[in-house]
Chains A and B, each alone.
Chain A
Amino acid sequence: MHSVDPSPIQHLMREMGIDEASVEYRKRIVGIEARDLERIGAVRELVVQNAERLTSSFFDYLAGLEEGRALSGDRVVLARARELKREHLVAMVQGNYGLEYARQRLELALLYNRVGLDLRVFLAAFHHLLERAGEILTRHSGLAPLEGFETFMSLKKVAFFDIGLIVDAIVFERERLIRQQQSAIRELSTPVLQIRDRMLLLPIIGVIDTARARLVTESLLRAIRDNRAKVVVMDITGVATIDSRVANHLIQTVTAARLMGASVIVTGLSAEVAQSLVALGIDLTKLNTVGDLQGGIEEAERSLGYQVLQRERPAIARGE
Chain B
Amino acid sequence: MAVPILKQGEFLIASIQAALSDHDLVDLRDELAGRIGRFRARGVVIDVTALDVLDSFGTRTLRGIAHTARLRGAKCVVVGIQPEVAFAMVQLGLSLDGVPTALDLEEGLFLLGARGGDGASAV
Contact = CB atoms under 8 A, between A and B. Distances in A.
A258 B101 contact: yes
Interface centre among A218, A252, A256, A259, by most B CB within 10 Å? A259
B91 A260 contact: no
Contacts of A258: 95, 101, 121-123
B51 to A, nearest CB: 12
Interface string A301-315: 001000100110001
B26 to A, nearest CB: 22
A208 interface: no
Nearest to B59: A259
A2 to B, nearest CB: 44
B86 A259 contact: yes
A307 B107 CA distance: 12
A3 to B, nearest CB: 43
B115 A315 contact: yes
B121 A217 contact: no
B115 A320 contact: no
B58 to A, nearest CB: 13
Interface in A240-257: 252-253, 255-257
Contacts of A214: 87
A11 interface: no
A54 B39 CA distance: 93
A261 B121 contact: yes
A217 B96 CA distance: 18
B56 to A, nearest CB: 14
B103 A311 contact: no
A225 B86 CA distance: 12
B83 interface: yes
A259 B90 contact: yes
Interface in A20-67: none
Given A259-B81, A263-B121, A303-B120, A224 B103 contact: yes
A196 interface: no
B114 interface: yes
Nearest to B107: A261
Interface centre among B85, B108, B123, by most A CB within 10 Å? B123
Contact of A255 (B102, B117, B123): B123
B114 A310 contact: yes
B83 A224 contact: yes
Nearest to A214: B87
A222 B87 CA distance: 10
B103 A259 contact: no
B53 interface: no
Contacts of B83: 218, 221-222, 224-225, 260
A262 B103 contact: yes
Contact of B116 (A255, A262, A315): A315
Interface in B24-49: none
Nearest to A307: B114
A257 B123 CA distance: 9
B103 A261 contact: yes
A213 to B, nearest CB: 11
Contacts of A256: 86-87, 89-90
Contacts of A280: none
A310 B102 CA distance: 18
Given A224-B83, A224-B103, A252-B91, A259 B116 contact: no
Interface in B76-109: 79, 81-87, 89-91, 95-96, 101-103, 107-108
A14 interface: no
Interface of B: 79, 81-87, 89-91, 95-96, 101-103, 107-108, 114-117, 120-123
Given A221-B84, A258-B122, A261-B101, 12 more contacts: A217-B87, A217-B90, A221-B83, A225-B83, A230-B120, A256-B86, A259-B85, A259-B123, A260-B86, A260-B101, A261-B108, A310-B115
12 contacts: A217-B90, A222-B83, A225-B82, A253-B90, A255-B90, A256-B87, A261-B103, A262-B103, A262-B121, A263-B121, A307-B114, A320-B120
